[in-house]
């Protein structure tokens, strides 16, 4: 199964945040949308990082209450693995296992068009 089939079922919605946003605002967006990750984009929509709940927990552990005022760019994961709609579930499961990432942005012609999680891939693999 290809990633395009997963996105056709689950949808193409991706929630993003700018790197200069503060962590308090990013945390509120995660809660409001009931999601675990935000893709960090620059002004042109290019992917510059990912902010996960794990990144937030680590920031809180390191900086305490002051973490709320930090910028997303201070704590986001910068080494982002992206995929194409033509990639397969099996390929991405391998990539996620090797890189220990749980979310992968999907790009088409250099533009962010979706996001898949390890849960999406496992569900598709089991069907």
Q: Which of 34, 116, 42 is nearest to 76 (CA)?
A: 42
The predicted model scores a pTM of 0.91
Residue 127 scores a pLDDT above 80: no
Give me the domain span that covers residue 18: 3-126
Summarize pLDDT for 11-60 with one digit per residue, the tens: 999 999 999 999 999 999 999 999 999 999 999 989 999 999 999 999 99
> Residue 59: which CATH number?
3.10.580.10
Secondary structure class of 82 (helix, strand, coil)? coil
Four-CA torsion 21, 23, 25, 28, nearest 10 degrees = 150
Q: How many domains does the chain have?
A: 1
Residue 117 scores a pLDDT above 90: yes
pLDDT at 99: 93
Half-sphere exposure of 94 (CA within 13 A, CB side): 5
């Amino acid at each position: 199964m290809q990633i395009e089939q997963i996105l056709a079922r689950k949808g193409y919605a991706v929630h993003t945040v700018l790197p200069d946003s503060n962590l308090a605002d990013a945390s509120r967006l995660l809660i409001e949308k009931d999601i675990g990750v935000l893709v960090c984009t620059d002004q042109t929509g290019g992917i510059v990082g990912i902010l996960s709940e794990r990144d937030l927990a680590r920031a809180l552990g390191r900086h305490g209450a002051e973490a709320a005022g930090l910028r997303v760019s201070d704590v986001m994961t910068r080494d982002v693995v992206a995929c194409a709609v033509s990639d397969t579930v099996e390929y991405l499961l391998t990539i996620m296992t090797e890189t220990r990432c749980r979310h992968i942005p999907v790009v088409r012609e250099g533009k962010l068009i979706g996001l898949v999680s390890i849960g999406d891939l496992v569900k598709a693999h089991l069907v």
